[in-house]
Amino acid sequence: MDVLSEVLKVVTLEGAMFYNAEFSAPWGIREPPAREMAPYLSPTAGHVIIFHLVTDGRGMAMVEGGQWVPLVAGDIVVFPHGDQHFMENGSPKERTDNARNLHLIQSQGLKLDRQGGGGEVTRLVCGYMACEPRLSRVVLAGLPPVFKVNIREDASGRWLEQSIRFSVDEAGGAGPGGEAVRAKLSEVLFVETLRRYVAQWPEGRAGWLAGARDPEVGKALALMHSRPAHPWTLAELAKESGVSRSVLAERFRHFLDAPPMTYLTAWRLQLGARMLASTSQSVAQVAAAVGYESEPAFNRAFKRLFGAPPARFRRQSRAAPSPGPAPGTPAPKSALGTRAATQAPKRAAKRAPRRGAKRRR
């Protein structure tokens, strides 16, 4: 089983291409933070990831305060946390501030934008991924502010790049369905980039994506994410993963800084939060759907993590959607990957199974 695919099913990625550019050196642009771009790109998105595919030429990209990342044709550079960033080639005297042009960029669609000083040409296709912020933190938490991957290294990557280039070039006169095709290509490009980037990581690296790549931890994660409501036990997960309970627990702590059952409880509560915010199911139905046999147990565990009981959380989410726990609750660095985020669910996990066991007897 592919744990990354299982997580991406519920993260609900929605992608699109939004900018087609041909810059001649010297040129430079400033891209505003994704939170400023989101109202123009995907007004209902909780989080927006920005990426740029270099189809010709070269350039450099940098998150504010960071180091320049050199780019060549075939590179895709990703800003997973939506940070403000800069791109250029040829040491321009000034940069175009795209924060002032967001309405124009959005309104012209993929019409080719040409600018620069008339020198070496760089061609870019820019896109974004909109995703649910709470659940996407699982994948994004271990990623740096900017990373790049070259997709011309094999036939599948070259085919994907050519498909995107053709779709963008034909955007002006495309028939029905063209926008949907580009949206799917955008999603495929992001997932393929993420897969390639993780595959390059050295052994021994920690974090959720590193754990997903590990054979034993990845198998356990895939089981949890494919069937979160199943009454998993550490013994059953270890057996399915082909290791002992102690080995699985140790490897989980190494990669995710939390025991397996603590992680599972936190993930169930995150799923519950999404259902409360996006569906009309009752609290009891949500509790059952994420693996709680007792609504009171779900209520207590949920309040410990989000700072509010489920009913109040639902009202607050619908009145003013927020990517984090309820107001007044410290936001953890990662939704599921830190001790701060999992201490409360850990206590809840110890209690809930005992209540369920009594009822079964």
Instruction: Choose among 64, 95, 93, 61: nearest CA to 75.
Output: 61
**pLDDT computed for residue 333 by the predictor:** 38
> pLDDT tens, 107-158?
888 889 999 999 999 999 999 999 888 888 888 887 999 999 999 988 999 9
| Side-by-side strand order, sheet with 113-116 | 113-116, 14-24, 121-131, 47-56, 75-79, 147-150
Ranges of each domain in the chain: 3-199, 208-360
**pLDDT computed for residue 326 by the predictor:** 33
Instruction: Choose among 89, 113, 83: nearest CA to 28.
Output: 89
Instruction: Choose among 247, 257, 195: nearest CA to 216.
Output: 247
**pLDDT computed for residue 174 by the predictor:** 60
Which CATH superfamily groups domain 3-199?
A: Regulatory protein AraC (2.60.120.280)
**pLDDT computed for residue 132 by the predictor:** 83
CB-neighbour burial class of residue 202 (10 A; exposed 0-12, middle 13-18, buried 19+):
exposed
Strand ranges for the chain from DSSP E: 14-24, 27-31, 47-56, 58-63, 69-72, 75-79, 85-89, 96-97, 113-116, 121-131, 147-150
Please tell us whether the domain made up of 208-360 is placed in CATH 3.40.50.1970: no
Strand ranges for 132-264 from DSSP E: 147-150
Instruction: Choose among 28, 36, 47: nearest CA to 87.
Output: 28
Please tell me the distance from the alpha carbon of residue 158 to that of residue 164, in angstroms, as a whole number: 10
For the chain, residues with pLDDT lower than 70 are 1, 172-175, 320-361
Instruction: Choose among 38, 52, 37: nearest CA to 193.
Output: 52
> pLDDT tens, 223-239?
999 999 999 999 999 99
